[in-house]
Amino acid sequence: MFSKILIANRGEIACRVIKTARNMGIKTVAVYSSADEGALHVKMADEAVHIGPPPAAESYLVADRIIAAAKQTGAEAIHPGYGFLSENAGFAERLQKEGIVFIGPNTHAIRAMGDKIESKKLAAAAKVNTVPGFLGVIKDTDEAVRIASEIGYPVMLKASAGGGGKGMRIAWNETQVREGFPAAAAEAASSFGDDRVFIEKFVTDPRHIEIQVLADRQGNTLYLGERECSIQRRHQKVIEEAPSPFLDEETRRAMGEQAVALCKAVSYESAGTVEFIVDGNRNFYFLEMNTRLQVEHPVTELITGIDLVEQMIRIAAGETLKITQPDVKLNGWAIESRVYAEDPFRNFLPSIGRLTRYQPPQESSQGGVTLRNDTGVFEGAEISMFYDPMIAKLCTHGPTRDQAITAMSDALDAFHIRGIQHNVPFLAALIRHPRFVEGRLTTGFIAEEWPEGFHGADVLPETRRDLAALTAFIYLQQFQRARAISGQIKESYQKPQTHDWTVTLDGENYPVSAELAEGGCLVTFAGKKKPVRVITSWTPMQPVMRASVEGRRLTVQVDRQAGYCLLTHHGATLKAIMRSHRAAELFALMPEKIPPDLSKFLLCPMPGLLVSIAVEVGQTVMAGENLAVVEAMKMQNILRAESDGVVAAIRAKAGDSLAVDQVILEFE
């Protein structure tokens, strides 16, 4: 076994590998760019080596610097994590020549499966079901249009060396092919240094289900069940679960056996994932193979009890698998939510900045339910524009799918992040969506359920009343604290313990009578004789309130502002305030502030690099026309005209680094 390994990665996955290595008694070396000098993986590792400036192309993607760091520290092996150099056959080959072990598959398997065109040919030869499409190299946009027309719309444009949704587009017509092909090629070149794009038929109403495989160097190959990865946005997975609520045992076995056959065809070793697309009749087709550890590997670990990182290290050290296919048992249900630094209320645009508050729910395992949080950040850490915007992977495991969902919902309600925008409200709304709870999933789930974008979750009337009761308790607590301040006029101490107020939640009024009681308070709503009992130990210094209202459990985030509170629960944030009845009447007469008209400007929706501007001053543009392209966190975003107009001025130029809401164009 190795005594020291280097992790050629950053963030959450680097921390994840370090944890297992530490448990195995193996020392670790972290590498870091200038932007990551104070990062968590650097703090966790036994040693750390600086490898260059912030851009990945000048640090994490430079093989020479990674190898030099390994030699400098005496690391015998390198774990690549995912992304960066994890599926780079040239890097693995370099390590072999340098006498450093690559903790991953052999170079033949990486090359064979890393090229999506060649991998489909190999899959077909191994009698693995494949999707109809054109697997050759497409030279230009005109050829792409011709091929797409021959296959039949809709089609999928995919980067041959791609992954993580980059270099991928769905095209429903010729116009979208003409726009999507060059964009996909540009993203592919930027992310992977390979601009080849291929086209295949897009299967409608599809599910994305993948099989985890594990193979040693002695030829033993296993499949560890499946992961349901259908909840995606822009081809980027958002929530994954294991097992799939859709597969039966027969389909699971058939997919697993085909995955194993493909592995054997390329003499695969290490952990890997064979991805399939599955239609409504459980017909499945090979998509691609990822010759690395997947982001969503924790859900497989939770239902099998197998540490995949440990197995990768043991296989790389030459050990034989100690488990056989009959030993693999799927126990319970696991769900993973990817917590990203992105704004769901602004079409999920990336968000950067400092995590002024980062308090995830505490990891635990009790009552048959496990909560796990794989993260690479800490309170005070900086979310950089240079890398993937992932903050954490929140995982829950329970005996049943319903229990795993309930645990995830509670955990998301308690996940307290401030300083940047994040997608926790969206995840909280998604996990409780009736269609998700029922397991009726497709890769189009998010687009179908939120066609106009996410604008916050709906709050049921009974939940609103519970939140109104909690608001009354919050204000009673604040009033009690204020009464205890010394030096006040004597009469202020003699105010009655029962208060008649109007609670306002996002403009909706609830007249209440409230009084503190043992363990919480009693709140009586107007027109009701029986008070509701609030039980909680919350104090004003705590950001998360756990309470019971008439036996109904609620986890609510409380942000105290000047004159009001913001309550966040189940993906919705409500403005809450308690006033006297008279003050509420007068406030209702106040005029509403009208936001300024910004329709004559094209504003940058995210911090990023302005790649290009497609218009000139004086040009007439039509609604939907391409105006500019902004690149952020390795993704290219096309900004389109929302209405017809004439360009009056251009306020930025290609190559500029733009801030959120910075003006790019002005219209007449």
For position 60, what pLDDT does the model report?
97
Tell which of 396, 420, 449 closes a domain: 449
* Residue range of the domain that includes 370: 207-449
Task: Looking at the structure, tell me whether residues 290 and 429 fall in a common domain.
Answer: yes
Cβ-in-10-Å burial (0-12, 13-18, 19+) of 347 comes to middle
Angle between helical axes of 297-304 and 308-316 (0-180°, round to 10): 100
Per the listing, tokens 């705590």 go with: 542
Tell which of 201, 216, 250 closes a domain: 201
**Segment holding 471, helix H or strand E:** helix 461-483
For position 635, what pLDDT does the model report?
75
Is 592 contained in some domain? no
Q: What is the mean predicted confidence (pLDDT) over 424-445? A: 96
- Share of residues in the chain with pLDDT > 90 (%): 74
Please give the sequence-ordered ranges of beta strands (E in DSSP) within 172-269, or none if there are none.
Answer: 197-201, 207-215, 221-233, 236-242
Taking CA atoms, 203 is separated from 118, 185, 200, 556, in Å, by: 20, 22, 9, 40
With H, G, I as helix, E, B as strand and everything else as coil, classify residue 415: coil
Q: Give tens-digit pLDDT for 508-541.
A: 999 999 998 999 999 999 989 899 999 999 998 8
Q: What is the mean predicted confidence (pLDDT) over 545-570? A: 95
Q: Which residue has the higher pLDDT, 554 or 347?
A: 554
For position 617, what pLDDT does the model report?
94
Task: Looking at the structure, tell me whether residues 93 and 232 fall in a common domain.
Answer: no
For position 497, what pLDDT does the model report?
53
Q: What is the CATH number of the domain that holds 289?
A: 3.30.470.20
Q: What is the mean predicted confidence (pLDDT) over 63-92? A: 97
Given a contact cutoff of 8 angstroms between Cβ atoms, the answer to whether 484 and 490 are in contact is no
Dihedral in degrees, nearest 10, Cα atoms 66, 67, 70, 71? -140
Q: What is the CATH number of the domain that holds 166?
A: 3.30.1490.20
For position 396, what pLDDT does the model report?
98
**Segment holding 252, helix H or strand E:** helix 249-265
Is 123 contained in some domain? no
Task: Looking at the structure, tell me whether residues 73 and 152 fall in a common domain.
Answer: no
Q: What is the mean predicted confidence (pLDDT) over 244-252? A: 97
Which is catalytic among the residues 87, 269, 275, 288? Answer: 288
- Share of residues in the chain with pLDDT > 70 (%): 97
- Our count of domains for the chain comes to 5
Over the chain, what is the mean pLDDT? 92
Taking CA atoms, 130 is separated from 116, 144, 201, 510, in Å, by: 12, 20, 10, 59
pLDDT over 80 at 548, yes or no: yes
Name the band, by pLDDT with cuts 50, 70 and 90, for residue 344.
very high
- Torsion sign across C-alpha atoms 596, 598, 600, 603: positive
Q: Give tens-digit pLDDT for 159-197.
A: 887 766 778 889 999 999 999 999 998 888 877 788 888
CA 261 – CA 127 distance, rounded (Å)? 8
CA 128 – CA 120 distance, rounded (Å)? 9
CB atoms within 10 A of CB 97: 8
For position 359, what pLDDT does the model report?
97
Is 125 contained in some domain? no
Task: Looking at the structure, tell me whether residues 213 and 321 fall in a common domain.
Answer: yes
Task: Looking at the structure, tell me whether residues 230 and 340 fall in a common domain.
Answer: yes
Q: Give tens-digit pLDDT for 466-512.
A: 999 999 999 988 887 777 777 766 655 455 455 789 999 998 999 99
For position 290, what pLDDT does the model report?
95
**Residues constituting the chain:** 668
For position 229, what pLDDT does the model report?
97
Is 9 contained in some domain? yes
Tell which of 155, 172, 201 closes a domain: 201
Angle between helical axes of 89-98 and 107-114 (0-180°, round to 10): 170
CA 502 – CA 394 distance, rounded (Å)? 38
Torsions phi, psi for 211 (to 5 deg): -110, 125
Eight-class DSSP state of 361: P
- Which residues lie closer than 8 Å to 159 by C-beta, 6 or more apart? 116, 166, 167, 168, 184, 185, 187, 188, 191, 192, 194, 195, 196, 197
Q: What is the mean predicted confidence (pLDDT) over 625-633? A: 87
Q: What is the mean predicted confidence (pLDDT) over 13-24? A: 98
Q: Which residue has the higher pLDDT, 244 or 114?
A: 244
Task: Looking at the structure, tell me whether residues 190 and 224 fall in a common domain.
Answer: no
Is 122 contained in some domain? no
For position 498, what pLDDT does the model report?
57
Q: What is the CATH number of the domain that holds 40?
A: 3.40.50.20
Given a contact cutoff of 8 angstroms between Cβ atoms, the answer to whether 325 and 223 are in contact is yes
Angle between helical axes of 116-125 and 107-114 (0-180°, round to 10): 100
For position 624, what pLDDT does the model report?
85
Cβ-in-10-Å burial (0-12, 13-18, 19+) of 24 comes to middle
CA 21 – CA 30 distance, rounded (Å)? 12
Q: What is the CATH number of the domain that holds 649?
A: 2.40.50.100
Torsions phi, psi for 380 (to 5 deg): 100, -10
Task: Looking at the structure, tell me whether residues 149 and 262 fall in a common domain.
Answer: no
For position 631, what pLDDT does the model report?
86
Q: What is the mean predicted confidence (pLDDT) over 282-310? A: 96
Q: Give tens-digit pLDDT for 360-409.
A: 999 999 999 999 999 999 999 999 888 888 999 999 999 999 999 999 99
Task: Looking at the structure, tell me whether residues 268 and 284 fall in a common domain.
Answer: yes
pTM, 2 dp: 0.83
Task: Looking at the structure, tell me whether residues 431 and 468 fall in a common domain.
Answer: no
Q: Is 200 a catalytic residue?
A: no
Is 631 contained in some domain? yes
Taking CA atoms, 667 is separated from 183, 575, 618, in Å, by: 26, 35, 9
Q: What is the CATH number of the domain that holds 555?
A: 3.30.700.30
Task: Looking at the structure, tell me whether residues 322 and 414 fall in a common domain.
Answer: yes
Task: Looking at the structure, tell me whether residues 302 and 399 fall in a common domain.
Answer: yes
Q: Which of 240-249, 260-269, 280-289, 295-304 has the lowest mean pLDDT?
A: 280-289
Three state DSSP letters for 604-661: CCCCEEEEEECCCCCCEECCCCEEEEEEECCEEEEEECCCCEEEEEECCCCCCEECCC
For position 490, what pLDDT does the model report?
60
The distance in angstroms from the start CA to the end CA of the chain is: 69
Given a contact cutoff of 8 angstroms between Cβ atoms, the answer to whether 374 and 12 are in contact is yes
Is 220 contained in some domain? yes
Task: Looking at the structure, tell me whether residues 38 and 183 fall in a common domain.
Answer: no
For position 378, what pLDDT does the model report?
96
CB atoms within 10 A of CB 503: 27
Cβ-in-10-Å burial (0-12, 13-18, 19+) of 532 comes to buried
**Cα angle: 415, vertex 80, 91; to 5 degrees:** 150
CA 259 – CA 222 distance, rounded (Å)? 9
Is 573 contained in some domain? yes
